[in-house]
Amino acid sequence: MVGPMTEAERDAGNRRIKAGILFVVAVSPPLIALQFGPSPIELLAALGGGIALGLIVVWYLGRLGEEFTPDSRRPGRRR
């Protein structure tokens, strides 16, 4: 029988999910840019923009996920 997840396992899983989302979002703009024959500077700009966008997406999803955790410490929440 499988027991409940420990906090360490949950944290490790969340880090892996965040890293995967960040990787997919960060790599997408340079791959799209490769279709148009970019210069190395343009490719690096696309990568930088993808990383910035990926960080914003991961931050937003983290905040959104806090809404659904039972131990959220936000004031005014009903339990």
The structure's pTM equals: 0.77
> Domain residues of the chain, as ranges?
40-67
Q: Per residue of the chain (79 residues), what is the pLDDT tens digit?
A: 688 889 899 889 999 999 999 999 999 999 999 999 999 999 999 999 999 999 999 999 999 988 887 765 555 555 4
pLDDT of residue 79: 46
pLDDT of residue 78: 52
* Three-class SS of the chain: CCCCCCHHHHHHHHHHHHHHHHHHHHHHHHHHHHHHCCCHHHHHHHHHHHHHHHHHHHHHHHHHHHCCCCCCCCCCCCC
Report d(CA 44, CA 32) in Å as an integer: 13
